[in-house]
Amino acid sequence: MAKKPQTSKDAAEKVVKNIRRKTQQTYSAEEKIRIVTACLRGEESISVRCRRKGIAESLYYSWSKEFLEAGKRRLSGDTARQATSPGTV
């Protein structure tokens, strides 16, 4: 079977996808925590903080939800501490 010729719209969409893939920023856990805690403390509004950091508010809210749920699990003792004392293996 012959392949369908690629239209200019298909080519443009492919270019846009590649640009988005290459410019997508990943945030470390520490940076996510800084962003969430700054908003929780009321230092900046959520919309201003998200705009400055270049993230969608929905992404902020998912980070915030994960952050609060992890804290709740930790405080309720659901997670086992993996720390070892110095000198032990």
Does residue 37 fall inside a structural domain?
yes
Does residue 39 fall inside a structural domain?
yes
pLDDT in tens, 6-51: 678 888 888 877 777 767 688 999 999 999 999 999 988 999 999 9
pLDDT of residue 48: 93
Segments forming the whole domain that contains residue 66? 28-75
pLDDT of residue 16: 78
The three-state secondary structure class of 48 is: helix
Residue at token pair 């405080």: 75
Number of structural domains found in the chain: 1
Does residue 88 fall inside a structural domain?
no
Q: Give the CA distances from residue 57 to residues 10, 17, 42, in Å, rounded to whole numbers and listed in that order.
A: 30, 21, 15
Query: Is residue 36 classed exposed, middle or buried when 0-12, 13-18 and 19+ CB atoms within 10 A define those classes?
Result: buried
pLDDT greater than 80 at residue 2: no
pTM of the predicted structure, to 2 decimals? 0.60
Within 10 A of 50 (CB to CB), how many other CB atoms are there? 19
* Amino acid letter for position 65: K
